[in-house]
Structure 1
Amino acid sequence: MVALHLLDHPLPAEELGARLLNGEILVWREVEALAELRIELDRIIRQTLADDAPTTAEKRLPGEVFIERIRQLRSQVMKDLNLHRPMKAAMEYVGLDLDDSYWDALQLRVVPSAASHQARRIMPLPMHRDNWGSNIAQQLNWWTPIYPTDADNTLAFYPAYWSQAVENDSANWDYLAFKQRMREGKAASHPVLPTLTEPLPAAQLLPLVIQPGDLLAFSGQHLHGSIANAHGRSRFSLETRTVSRDHLTTGLAAPAPDGAAPYRVWEWFKHMCDGTPLGETERL
Structure 2
Amino acid sequence: MTALYQLATPLPEAERNSRIYQGELIVFRGFDAMGQLTDRLRAYCVDYFGDDPTRAHQSMSSPEIDRAAENLHAAIRKDDDVHLAWRQVLAAIDTDLNETYGDGVVIRVQPPRSGSEGERTEPLRAHRDTWGSNLQAQINWWAPLYDTTPERTLVLFPSFFSRIVENDSDDWNFQDMVQAHREKSVPGYPLLPTAARAPGWDDALVVSLLPGDLLCFSGAHLHASVPNTTNLTRLSFETRTVNCHDMAGGAGAPNMDGLAPYVTSQIFRHLVSGQKLGKLAAVAASDKLNSQKKT
RMSD: 1.9
Q: In the aligned structure 2, how far is the partner of 1:175 from the partner of 1:143? A: 22
CA contact (8 A) 1:92 1:98 kept: yes
Q: In the aligned structure 2, how far is the partner of 1:5 from the partner of 1:137? A: 21
CA contact (8 A) 1:63 1:116 kept: no
Corresponding residue of 1:9? 9
Tell me if 1:233 matches 2:229: no
Structure 1 residue 116: Cα displacement:
5.3
Output aligned runs, 1:165-244, within 5 Å. Answer: 165-186=164-185, 188-244=187-243
Amino acid in structure 1 at the alignment position of 2:38: R
Structure 1 residue 189: Cα displacement:
3.6
Q: In the aligned structure 1, how far is the partner of 2:51 from the partner of 2:152? A: 20
Corresponding residue of 2:290? none
CA contact (8 A) 2:157 2:223 kept: yes
Structure 1 residue 69: Cα displacement:
1.6
Output aligned runs, 1:86-235, within 5 Å. Answer: 86-115=85-114, 118-186=117-185, 188-235=187-234
Q: Which secondary structure state, in structure 2, belongs to the residue aligned with residue 240 of structure 1?
A: strand
Corresponding residue of 2:262? 263
- Tell me how many residue pairs correspond in the alignment: 282
What is the CA deviation profile of residues 107-162 of structure 1, one whole-angstrom value per residue up to 9, with x for unaligned ones?
Answer: 11111113256201211111100000001111001111110112111110110011
Deviates more, 1:160-169 or 1:39-48: 39-48
Structure 1 residue 250: Cα displacement:
2.1
Q: In the aligned structure 2, how far is the partner of 1:122 from the partner of 1:79? A: 21
Corresponding residue of 1:18? 18
Structure 1 residue 228: Cα displacement:
2.9
- Give the fraction of aligned pairs with identical amino acids, expressed as a percent: 35
CA contact (8 A) 1:121 1:192 kept: no
Q: TM-score, normalised by structure 2?
A: 0.90
Deviates more, 1:112-121 or 1:128-137: 112-121
What is the CA deviation profile of residues 194-233 of structure 1, one whole-angstrom value per residue up to 9, with x for unaligned ones?
Answer: 0011243211111011111001100000000101322221
Q: In the aligned structure 2, how far is the partner of 1:21 from the partner of 1:3? A: 15
Q: In the aligned structure 2, how far is the partner of 1:193 from the partner of 1:243? A: 18
CA contact (8 A) 2:62 2:118 kept: no
Amino acid in structure 1 at the alignment position of 2:47: Q
Q: Which secondary structure state, in structure 2, belongs to the residue aligned with residue 191 of structure 1?
A: coil
Unaligned runs of 5+ in 1: none
Amino acid in structure 2 at the alignment position of 1:12: P
Q: In the aligned structure 1, how far is the partner of 2:33 from the partner of 2:259? A: 38
